[in-house]
Structure 1
């Protein structure tokens, strides 16, 4: 059953339905339904872990806002906003979170830093993440549409502890990239070092 949050905190100048309508225009049908599932998963986790439900809804819906934008939009945003020039060496997998958060800020008028950080870090993680950031990081990974082998354990660990969920996802993500000889974004390594070793015995 879907939980619909009535936005009352003026965290953006839109109702939830107006935001959903914008996302329906910006994303393919599959991606749109993914963000709806992430929102619902984020709300469920926010209820469990005492996190603001409205922020969880907005961050969950907006986490992939920029996912299907053309590369030139990201490149322009990086240069115009004076973001880390190293971002120019990466691609959509990294940009849609880190650079996408700036697009959410400027285009949807969202200025809450916790929401923006949750969007920024939902793919790479970060050495320090607020409970909302952890929730979006995990909700994107474990939403009901996911069916990869590790997702069952990820869901179990997240239900037990956000910290364990974050550590497990980070461990699995790094292993996935290394096994396939894919480049690892530096923040992902920092996330691994901050979250995995001290929780290794419980994973």
Structure 2
């Protein structure tokens, strides 16, 4: 099924996976991703679809996500780390296996929307930033990230990921290594 041609079926399927607040967030991410894609020269349909799918597994039981990650041989450090990251990696697998999403850009944007990674594509950056700035988000610093996103996507992403790292450190939680690598890669790109 071409999900872009059957938007209503896609939205029904996504809605069935989550509670109402998460669904509203998902719609906000899709809308923000579309806007950022138009602004920065990415395919708006792909960005919107990735936004719709980014939290597909977010509300699934952790045991189900763990089984998916184990069956697909994902990194051990992911399994031993924060469970909050699992939904992105499990979601990337599920949208391929259950929804026949074959576009590697969309799959990668879903996979890395929580951790980032070095060498992020434009679509990955858009979905990651959209997840931070969608209209329903309200946390310290979100207005600054929204303003930066209007001017410089990389600056917005560095600020967002940097803020996440800072919060994790303050809470004495582990920072997933890929997130640190993503941050360092983005910061080094700002100096270039």
Name the TM-score, length of structure 1 as normaliser: 0.89
Contact 1:167 1:199 in 2 (8 A): no
Distance 1:185-1:178 versus aligned 2 partners, 3 A rule: same
How far has the Cα of 1:79 moved from its partner? 2.0
Would you identify which runs of 4 or more consecutive aligned residues in structure 1 move more than 6 Å? none
How far has the Cα of 1:47 moved from its partner? 0.7
Question: Which ranges of structure 2 fall in alignment gaps of 5 or more residues?
Answer: none
> What secondary structure, in the 3-state scheme, does the structure 2 residue paired with 1:183 have?
coil
In angstroms, what is the RMSD of aligned CA positions? 1.7
Counterpart position of 1:51: 42
Counterpart position of 2:75: 84
Counterpart position of 1:108: 99
1:55-100, Cα deviation, whole Å (9 max, x unpaired): 1111000000000111121121122212223322134311111222
> What secondary structure, in the 3-state scheme, does the structure 1 residue paired with 2:16 have?
helix
Contact 2:30 2:47 in 1 (8 A): yes
How far has the Cα of 1:14 moved from its partner? 6.4
What is the rounded CA distance, in whole Å, between the counterparts of 2:82 and 2:154 in structure 1?
28
Counterpart position of 1:74: 65
Question: Which ranges of structure 1 fall in alignment gaps of 5 or more residues?
Answer: 1-9
- Provide the aligned length of Structure 1 versus Structure 2: 191
What is the rounded CA distance, in whole Å, between the counterparts of 2:82 and 2:98 in structure 1?
21
How far has the Cα of 1:153 moved from its partner? 0.8
Contact 1:78 1:85 in 2 (8 A): no
Contact 2:81 2:174 in 1 (8 A): no
How far has the Cα of 1:13 moved from its partner? 8.1
